[in-house]
Chains A and B, each alone.
Chain A
Amino acid sequence: MNGRERVLALARGEPTDRLAVMPVVMMFCAEQIGVHYGRYVEDHRVLAEAQVRTAQAFDFDIVSNMSDPAREAADCGARVEFFEDQPAAIVESDALLADKAKLASLRMPDPLGGGRMQSAVESLRLMKERVGGDKALMGWVEGPYAEGADLRGINRIMLDLYDDPGFVHELSDFVVELALRYARAQVDAGADIIGIGDAAASLIGPQFYDEFVWPYEKRLVEGIQAMGAVVRLHICGTTSPIVASMGRLGCEIVDLDHLTGMDAAREAMGPDQVLLGNIDPVGALRDSTPEAVTAAIDRCHRQAGERYVVGAGCEVPRDTPPENVRAMVDYARSALC
């Protein structure tokens, strides 16, 4: 099986020849081809080149166009700061929806309208040309609460939960529609998988998550699946209080951050959920040794059981020793499913 066949078989619940390996790699890829991260963020050709070369060199099963959280927000008109060698970031102090009244007149951006979303779509097209048959192509969207935070400001949207719940629902309607349009453009460009990153969702506790986030994530997941793509959900941070709800979303792959135990996730989500992760990207991967990486991944695998994909808990840090990353891949190659 090649990487694409392996990932798609896994998502369909079919047997695979070995474990799949799908780490989140962005800055690590830029480092591998010797470019500053600012170029990776801003030039889709550089992103595609870095992804393809790194995935081939390390034998990852996927390539991805994710780079920073600010693509959709930028195309909505949010002020975004670009750095020479860091991810692009939204300027919260000048958030687009600092004034809530602006939501009513906010224009839904066209993902193919020449902005940052289109750049990410173009990178998928390039990657499809290069490795489309061999690697699974993964597009990316911001999850509903994360994108709401990007537009409104994360501090404000936390207080909105108490001050103006109706606004949070209205904003969530808008951002789910935006995410579905962006996902559609990426699927049309060849994405096999759409990742949903909803980092801010781990900060609000289970009651708010169930009321203000889960219904919108569910709508997004079902919409992407209706396009024929596989869904990978990643929520950064401590997800233990919401992990059972995450399991009810019906995502093909749940990618766990390292702060949630794989054993607890398995117990909460049942035997069929594919779980991905989740070694500590800093302590257990970057600042580690190949032997210790192997042991850490083995622990995750044993806790997760058969329905498991090798990866770190979050992005692989850019200065991770390549031999440690290879140890992850070697584990996937050698371990029995």
Chain B
Amino acid sequence: MPVDQELFDAVRQADRDRVAEAVRAAIDRGAPVSSLLMNSMVPAMREIGDRFAAGEVYIPEMLMAARAMQAGLDIIEPLLGTSDHEPIGRVAVGTVKGDMHDIGKNLVVMMLKGSGYEVTDLGVDCPVEKYEEAAAGGATVLCCSALLTSTMTYMEQVVGRFQKDPAIKVIVGGAPVTQRFAEEIGADGFAEHASEAARVVSACLAGE
């Protein structure tokens, strides 16, 4: 399906009113909602993520774009359930127990939603039990975020809980988290930046 240029531009320019109008107009024209998401909103978010990774835009622009995308998702999501749309994966994202920082986690949520995943935002200060609930609810990838060196160690408990369950992948990230730490605790994946999260989730789901 071709890209809805108006929707693509509205997300890219972080104009939430225009996004909502463009989505409604496209639905009125009979456009498949799944296509609006995957062929217009996802490419726009990918472009913003790339610009963020390149240092061309910053957190305020990312959050503005996320808010604009959400204005479209609020209309689209209820309709996706009634269509034959299947998300490309179900992911849960949370900041680990003891840590109240959520900017990085929010960026990951946004980049994953903007890549077509169904994302559950678990919030901050998440104990293992929250990840268990998400897995029981159908998430197959669990993303753990932390900003503090003292809280990232909790990720080991989340990884340990799901280590014997090959159907569940645990990915870790956050400012102090390193590839070496991720390997030491046995995580299935590590994303250095929020903009990498979608690629890492995709690789995990592909069994790489």
Q: How many residues of A contact B (CB 8 A)?
A: 33
Identify the stretch in A97-105, A118-126, A154-162, A180-188 within 8 Å (CB) of chain B at 4 or more residues: A154-162
| CA distance in complex: A208, B151 (Å) | 30
B100 lies within 8 A of chain A by Cβ? yes
Other-chain residue from B60, B98, B103 in contact with A83 (beta carbon distance below 8 A): B98
Distance (Å) between the CB of B124 and the closest chain A CB?
A: 8
Q: Are A158 and B102 in contact (CB under 8 A)?
A: no
Contacts of A81 in B (CB 8 A): 100, 125
Identify the stretch in B18-26, B51-59, B129-137, B161-169 within 8 Å (CB) of chain A at 4 or more residues: B51-59
| CA distance in complex: A91, B125 (Å) | 10
A282 lies within 8 A of chain B by Cβ? yes
Contacts of A166 in B (CB 8 A): none
| CA distance in complex: A204, B52 (Å) | 11
B128 lies within 8 A of chain A by Cβ? no
B175 lies within 8 A of chain A by Cβ? yes
Q: Are B176 and A282 in contact (CB under 8 A)?
A: yes
Q: Are B58 and A208 in contact (CB under 8 A)?
A: yes
Q: Are A90 and B100 in contact (CB under 8 A)?
A: yes
Residue of B with least CB distance to A84 = B98
Q: Are A155 and B175 in contact (CB under 8 A)?
A: no
Q: Are B64 and A159 in contact (CB under 8 A)?
A: yes
Q: Are B178 and A205 in contact (CB under 8 A)?
A: no
B106 lies within 8 A of chain A by Cβ? yes
B interface residue count range (under 10 / 10 to 19 / 20 to 34 / 35 or more): 20 to 34
Other-chain residue from B67, B101, B123 in contact with A159 (beta carbon distance below 8 A): B67
Residue of A with least CB distance to B125 = A81
Annotate B173-185 by CB proximity to A: 1 below 8 A, 0 otherwise. Answer: 0011010110000
Q: Are A155 and B178 in contact (CB under 8 A)?
A: no
* Those of B74-132 within 8 Å (CB) of chain A: 98-103, 106, 123-125
Contacts of B67 in A (CB 8 A): 159
Q: Are B176 and A159 in contact (CB under 8 A)?
A: no
Given contacts A83-B98, A86-B151, A162-B64, whether A155 and B103 have CB atoms under 8 Å apart is: yes
Other-chain residue from A86, A154, A203, A283 in contact with B58 (beta carbon distance below 8 A): A203
Residue of A with least CB distance to B106 = A155
Given contacts A158-B60, A161-B60, A317-B150, whether A282 and B100 have CB atoms under 8 Å apart is: no
| CA distance in complex: A27, B152 (Å) | 14
Contacts of B57 in A (CB 8 A): 205
* Those of B135-176 within 8 Å (CB) of chain A: 148-151, 175-176
Annotate A175-202 by CB proximity to B: 1 below 8 A, 0 otherwise. Answer: 0000000000000000000000000000
Residue of B with least CB distance to A282 = B176
Interface centre among B59, B101, B180 (most CB of A within 10 A): B59
Q: Are A87 and B60 in contact (CB under 8 A)?
A: no
Given contacts A155-B106, A282-B178, whether A204 and B151 have CB atoms under 8 Å apart is: no
Q: Are B176 and A92 in contact (CB under 8 A)?
A: no
Contacts of A154 in B (CB 8 A): 102-103
Contacts of A89 in B (CB 8 A): 99-101
Given contacts A159-B67, A282-B178, whether A203 and B103 have CB atoms under 8 Å apart is: yes
A116 lies within 8 A of chain B by Cβ? no
A140 lies within 8 A of chain B by Cβ? no
A37 lies within 8 A of chain B by Cβ? yes
Residue of B with least CB distance to A237 = B175
Given contacts A89-B100, A92-B100, A203-B103, whether A318 and B60 have CB atoms under 8 Å apart is: no
* Those of B40-68 within 8 Å (CB) of chain A: 55, 57-61, 63-64, 67
Contacts of A159 in B (CB 8 A): 60, 63-64, 67
Q: Are A281 and B176 in contact (CB under 8 A)?
A: yes
Q: Are A204 and B150 in contact (CB under 8 A)?
A: no
* Those of A84-142 within 8 Å (CB) of chain B: 85-87, 89-93
| CA distance in complex: A89, B64 (Å) | 25
Q: Are B102 and A86 in contact (CB under 8 A)?
A: no
Annotate A29-42 by CB proximity to B: 1 below 8 A, 0 otherwise. Answer: 00000000100000
Contacts of A155 in B (CB 8 A): 63, 102-103, 106
Residue of A with least CB distance to B153 = A319
Contacts of B60 in A (CB 8 A): 158-159, 161-162, 203-205, 208
Contacts of A282 in B (CB 8 A): 149, 176, 178, 181
The interface of chain A, by Cβ under 8 A from chain B, is 27, 37, 81, 83, 85-87, 89-93, 154-155, 158-159, 161-162, 203-205, 208, 237, 241, 281-283, 286-287, 315, 317-319
28 pairs, CB–CB < 8 Å, chain A vs chain B: A81-B100, A81-B125, A83-B98, A85-B98, A86-B98, A86-B99, A87-B150, A89-B101, A90-B100, A92-B100, A92-B124, A93-B123, A155-B63, A155-B102, A155-B103, A162-B64, A203-B103, A204-B59, A204-B60, A205-B58, A205-B60, A205-B61, A237-B175, A282-B181, A283-B178, A283-B180, A315-B149, A317-B149
13 new A-B contacts, CB < 8 A, other than A158-B63, A282-B181, are A37-B150, A83-B98, A85-B150, A89-B100, A158-B59, A159-B67, A203-B58, A204-B58, A205-B58, A282-B176, A287-B178, A287-B180, A317-B176
